[in-house]
Structure 1
Amino acid sequence: MASPPPTAADAKLEILKNQVYEQCLDEEPDTVFRQQDILDMGVIPDSDAALLLEVTQRLVDEKLFKMVRDGQLGWMYRPLEDALKYRGLTHEQEMVYSLIDESSTEGIWSKTIKNKTALHESLMRSALKALETKRLISDMKSVEHPTRKMYIKSTLRPSEKATGGAWYTDNELDEAFIEGLTGVLYKYIEARSFYRSTSRRPLKRIAGRPAPKQAQGGDTITLLPLPPTYRGYPSLAELTLFIESSPITSTTLSADDISALLDVLIYDRRIEQVVAGPEGVAFKAVRKAIVGEEAVERGNGVTEAPCGRCPVFELCEEGGPVSASSCVYFQEWLTGGGF
């Protein structure tokens, strides 16, 4: 039996519904529309509140609106593609799917679904199974809660909070990956923190200092500190670009990811922040001394003066490549600038 043709009132309601919905689409999806917001659109004739409620109810029935109650009545719109997924669901399936939808990329625990819907265990399980069959939801793993049964919309990727981000592989912390990247970053920063000096002078090892490196031909390579005016230390943006453009990893790492690795290096006292560069903050390697077989930071009550901590003390002499009379670090220390 054919459906009766729509009445003039139904046709008018359909037109108003479409006009309200189209205006809502101009706003962000998480916008909450109150009654006055919809009246201010100028769509509802004579600001008729009763007619407005009819229009919003039709939008709710067609899953284009969802009701919001946070002290007062409001509505949020759903994109048409999402609204179509709600149509044809049973009441129980809609309750469960709505909660999973609202959880977004964080996902939701099955126990939370049960508590919020107050559904019997069997009804909830049946709804979840039906939604999985329709490919509307899927289960997910969470490194934060590895033993919990979690669900997410099948069209979404879990958030980094749930997956652990770039530092997790198969929900396990990839320590080798982290160690490898921090090592690469440190070498890059170290290379930008000193300059190499090659000397043919015979150098002897001094107790408590690293042995000088020998280059081809017997030359000695020494890492010299850069002057205090040097501003070429790498910034976070440069280091992020370096990792992104290098073949070290195919994983896309954000500036926040690189910043986390730099924090590890700072905590380990292998690098430090300095005021330099266009960003105002850059990173330089911390100089180390060798005591026995252990690397330690330079500096104690006796060696606070630059000479006692200088990595090129062996080269220092008048007329040589380094001398006390021309040492910028010694002058800076005398004027209270530190070293």
Structure 2
Amino acid sequence: SLDQNARVVYLNVKLAADRGIAVKQLTARCSLHQKVVQDALKLLEKKGAVKAVKGVKNTIRRLYMLANLKPSAEITGGLWYSDQVLDQEFIEVLADVCHQYVAEHSIPPRAPPGTLYPSTYERYVTLGQIRRHVIESRVLNEIPTRADIRTILNRLCFDGKVERRRVGGSGKGEAFCYKATQQGMQRRKGVIERDAWTDVPCGRCPVFDECWEGGAVSPASCVYYKTWLGKVAKSGTASGVNGVNGANVQNMF
């Protein structure tokens, strides 16, 4: 059995749920002296009723919660932390799984080599589809939230591996879809680092070997090449290519 002070402390710890509560907060809520609260917590811990945990934001402060509860992601750091240490290797694995899935759905399936979606195509994979793939792949012991996957996708966008596009239509369902960038797909294939040649769209194109005049992929139909040529024409000089002006480049095709 518990005395009155221990019951009051226990009830306030219970109210804190999986967020936990510090001794200072307990003292204020219980209207008890700090020494009384600490003694009550020791008794409750000894009986296995409560437990103390430490959060990733403050590894010194101890938080108390019921012994049968799992600390919230705010305390543990969620998927990204293991034993209060940022799990960089795990983040890289999850990012690779997401990037691979996006890349596989950025090129038409069962199409001739070199076939690309038209520039107006909008049905790339959504956050919900990517999350479902991650869950079904069973690379995680926990089920990731939409916020978890969004964090990974934001990182991939920042790294230039993926781009986010707004989904057109009636406004129902997902607002955005995700498409792998040329640079991102090349990195998966181990393409050489950026240089003067890779400044030209052809140098970063994942289907460069399948591109020829009159083919499914050709310089004449390449929207990326036309966009680049427009920029070159304005500047008068091809970026990173010495001695070649915009007019000369256009005459190459």
Match of 2:158 among 259, 267, 284: 267
Alpha carbons of structure 1 residues 92 and 293: separation in structure 2 relative to 1, 3 Å: same
Alpha carbons of structure 1 residues 284 and 119: separation in structure 2 relative to 1, 3 Å: same
TM-score under structure 1 length normalisation: 0.55
The offset of 1:271, in angstroms, is 0.6
Aligned to 2:179: 284
Aligned to 1:233: 124
The offset of 1:331, in angstroms, is 7.2
The offset of 1:311, in angstroms, is 5.1
The 5 Å alignment of 1:307-326 reads 312=207, 315-326=210-221
1:113 matched to 2:26: yes
The offset of 1:315, in angstroms, is 4.9
Alpha carbons of structure 1 residues 265 and 308: separation in structure 2 relative to 1, 3 Å: closer
Q: Are the counterparts in 1 of residues 24 and 34 from structure 2 also a CA contact under 8 Å?
A: no
Larger radius of gyration: 1
Q: Are the counterparts in 2 of residues 182 and 265 from structure 1 also a CA contact under 8 Å?
A: yes
Match of 2:147 among 226, 241, 256: 256
Aligned to 2:243: none
The structure whose residues are more often strand, as a share, is 1
The offset of 1:120, in angstroms, is 4.7
The offset of 1:90, in angstroms, is 2.4
1:176 matched to 2:75: no
Tell which has more relative contact order, 1 or 2 (C-alpha 8 A, sep 6+).
2
The offset of 1:274, in angstroms, is 1.2
Match of 1:98 among 11, 30, 33: 11
The residue type equivalent to 1:279 in the other structure is E
CA RMSD between the two structures:
3.7
Contiguous gaps of at least 5 residues in structure 1: 1-87, 200-221
Q: Deviations over 1:159-179 (max 9, x none)?
A: 110111122222222211111
In 2: Cα distance, 1:227 partner to 1:120 partner: 68
Aligned to 2:193: 294
The size of the alignment, in residue pairs, is 222
The offset of 1:195, in angstroms, is 4.8
The residue type equivalent to 2:215 in the other structure is G
In 2: Cα distance, 1:275 partner to 1:293 partner: 31
TM-score under structure 2 length normalisation: 0.71
Q: Deviations over 1:93-139 (max 9, x none)?
A: 13322331232211111233345534152x33321122224433222
Q: Deviations over 1:49-101 (max 9, x none)?
A: xxxxxxxxxxxxxxxxxxxxxxxxxxxxxxxxxxxxxxx64232133223312
| Percent identical | 32
1:138 matched to 2:51: yes
The residue type equivalent to 1:254 in the other structure is T
Q: Deviations over 1:230-256 (max 9, x none)?
A: 233111111111011113233221222
Q: Are the counterparts in 1 of residues 161 and 180 from structure 2 also a CA contact under 8 Å?
A: yes
